[in-house]
Structure 1
Amino acid sequence: MWTGKARSLLRHPSWRWLYPGMRVKRYALLAALGALLLGLGLKGLLPSLSLGGAWPWALLLGGGLLVGGVWAMNRSMLSAFTDPHEVPVRVYVRRRLEAGPRVVAFGGGTGLSRVLRGLRERTANVTAIVAVTDDGGSTGRLRLAFGLPAVGDLVDCLSALSDHPALPRLLAYRFDRGELQGHTFGNLFLVTLNQVSGDFAEAIREANAILNLRGQVLPATPEAVRLKARFLDGEEVEGEVALRKRRGRVREV
């Protein structure tokens, strides 16, 4: 029993910090040495444990090594993910935005994404409920091919709330040749997530996590719904593109 527990303990991911090349052990040892010297210096303050005149230097050197070791260790770990110089600004912005108002926005098209770009500078507590009835362009072709809800407006809203400055341009990139001509990278990205996860709602949740949004984007429905309207003359028209082309007054949708 104890052998099994020992093996399980040795396989714990925390031991990976001791792997060669992690650039963490040296700073951890430096911080430990600083803590030891700091402790000796503090003991020198007690009447019963005197270090003579050396305890002030032990305090100074130990404190410096402890602070320097912890600081260097944090920088080393953060550098694996981002520029350490940007961390204070990002943390401040994130904390300030997390304290912002809670906002729920409904809509679709370019209007909602523009509103979200303004809201993201004020709060990170934004939930966008996006219409998924568009059936034109790249979105329409992907709907026919995969039987999905419209992804174009979802991509625009994901791009608007993204915390990375390069992502909007990447998601909006439109291929201009070959079989992918007319499709945007963002549309294909969501379709790929759907194919991998097998569930459209789950694919959108994964996209929210991957893109590190200031808020969240949700589809109005995970079903491949389409708009259908009846005009005053009794004719019924289905699909957003067809409705845009049809003239006349709508009786009901």
Structure 2
Amino acid sequence: MTRVLVTGGGSGIGRAIAERFDAGGWEVWVTDIDADLLEGAPRHWVTHVCDAADEAGMRDVFAAVEAAGGLETLCANAGIAGPTALIEKVDLEDWRRCVSVNLEGAFLAAKYAAPLMKAAGRGSVCLTSSTAGQHGYPNRAPYAAAKWAVIGLMKTLAMELGPHGVRANAICPGAVDGPRMEGVLAREAAAKGMTREAVYAGYAAGTSMRTWVEARDIGEMAFFLASTAARYVSGQVIAVDGHTENPDPKP
């Protein structure tokens, strides 16, 4: 049985990724900082309560993965939205926490997954970036900076791991319906003096397909990237967003 580890897999995109691999017959391991979310996970999943940015915790998770026989796919998905504010109003601690979870979390997962995959001579590393990591984003400087850096990390991983038969790619979700984006909508509406509905409509209007996407769409892409159908797909930045045209949503 093939094994996948999904960080931040208790809800949202991470949960959808885990569910897709489960449906595909994979052994699913999931980490999340929220123990309550993991309580609701299927009982046959292997779950670990862990902050993705905590090295000791992540080291322990990967030690358990190694003891279980290794890892075929890593989906480093853990992330937080961070503050919604103009750059001059962003608190340094909020900046650091956002960058820590989104970037350092991906780094730590890759750091401990790499030796297992190199030893096996195969594997797929999938990092969750964002369209904010392709275009930048007003009022979201910490998040955009971290997600741009995730792409740089992925490109480097593809170069380092490729000779060992290991691929690395990044998925860039656009606006994904779900609880986390509801918080973003509320904060962005307040920051811009707009209604939640106007901001929501603006996200859709900023794509050529005039739509939001669903978490399951990200799960499908992650599953494809782990499959033999994508055996020579590496170092790629793949947006699942309906094609973002305007990174500053307006009504």
TM-score bracket, normalised by the shorter chain, equals under 0.3
Question: Structure 1 or 2: larger strand share?
Answer: 2
TM-score (norm 2): 0.27
Question: Structure 1 or 2: larger helix share?
Answer: 1
Considering Cα pairs closer than 8 Å and 6+ residues apart, tell me whether 1 or 2 has the greater RCO: 2
Q: Which has the larger radius of gyration?
A: 1
